[in-house]
Amino acid sequence: MRTHALTVLLVAALALGGCGGDSSTTPSDQDQGEPIRIGTKNFTEQYLLGELYAQALRAEGFRVELKRDIGSSEIVHQALVGGGIDLYPEYVGVLLSEIAGVTERPADDDAAYRLAKRFEERRGFTLLARTPFSDQNAIAVPPSTAQREGVRELGDLARLRGEVTIGAPPEFASRFEGLEGLEEIYGLDDLRVDAMGIGLQYDALDDGQVDAAAVFTTDGRLAEGDYVILDDPRGLFASQRVAPVISREVLESHGPRLVETLDALNARLTTSVMRDLNAQVDLRGREAADVAAEFLRARAPGE
């Protein structure tokens, strides 16, 4: 059984402390009301999405406060529900399995989106348009392991001797799209999570500290082909297209221009674009704010 007591306590602390480790507000001449408070989770892609949303809205005259690095989905969503933020970028599949508690997979992306949107609208929130890209959860192993042990899909992890360690963030241990699902869907009951910050799992895998790593399919480090992504024939890891989850009250107070701005931005975020943006931060050491600004300065094809 999952327990969220720790999550609730963490959220309460975050709400009292300002919801996150980094916050910035930029005033505007056109919109002098309360700033739109955007939150993000605690990894590169989320930092980029937060910067993209914030900078795009500021360019349209909105006042924005960006609160990045709040924590996992469970924590950020509670910050939204508790009024600490007004919107954040969320992965539709994670919203369903980890926030709404829906583990039965919808028929397709559209069905998943409708289900997630209905869930949020019952709670006073809604989802805006989705991105073209889907950043799915996955498990990666070194090529040497894949070749030596014949590991090509998730069920093949059972071929590894003894307890299999997976480098992953702490929440992977209690998520359906984590150890729970690997046991329920694939019968893998001899797994252990070696908890670590997102991004550190690659070095742990390279150094042999773990047998496998939980990864995101748009990670920049996967573009080099240095890791084998295990197939998921039983569909444990759902499609993870991104949609902003936003307070309906905030949405109504700011009008259609807010929706139009974020919808137009999201439409540009393809898989190749997102993987490139992630790589610029993770592999080239650039700041997410600079990468986002450069992307927004470039006109979209056909504009």
DSSP code of residue 96? I
Q: What whole-number distance in Å separates Cα of residue 91 and Cα of residue 130?
A: 9
- pLDDT score recorded for residue 299: 66
How far is it, in rounded angstroms, from Cα 156 to Cα 212?
A: 12
- pLDDT tens-digit profile, the chain (303 residues): 343 433 443 444 344 334 455 555 544 444 557 899 999 999 999 999 999 999 999 999 999 999 999 999 999 999 999 999 999 999 999 999 999 999 888 889 999 999 999 999 999 999 999 999 999 999 999 999 999 999 999 999 999 999 999 999 999 999 999 999 999 999 999 999 999 999 999 999 999 999 999 999 999 888 788 999 999 999 999 889 999 999 999 999 998 999 999 999 999 999 999 999 999 999 999 999 999 999 999 965 545
Beta bridge partners of 167: 194, 213
Give me the DSSP letters along 15-30: HHHTSSSEEEEE--SS
CA atoms within 13 A on the CB side of 94: 27
Q: What per-residue confidence (pLDDT) applies to 16? A: 33
Question: For residues 128 and 256, what is the distance between their CA atoms, to the nearest angstrom?
Answer: 11
| pTM of the predicted model as reported, rounded to 2 decimal places | 0.84
- The pLDDT of residue 104 is 86
Predicted local confidence at residue 13, as pLDDT: 36
Question: What length is written for the chain?
Answer: 303
Domains in the chain, CATH or no CATH each: 5-134+239-297 (3.40.190.10), 137-229 (3.40.190.120)
CB 78 within 8 Å of CB 46: no
Instruction: Spell out a b/e string for 11-27, using b for 16 or more CB atoms within 10 Å of the CB, else e.
Output: beebeeeebbeeeeeee
pLDDT at position 88 is: 99
- Rounded distance, CA 163 to CA 201, Å? 17
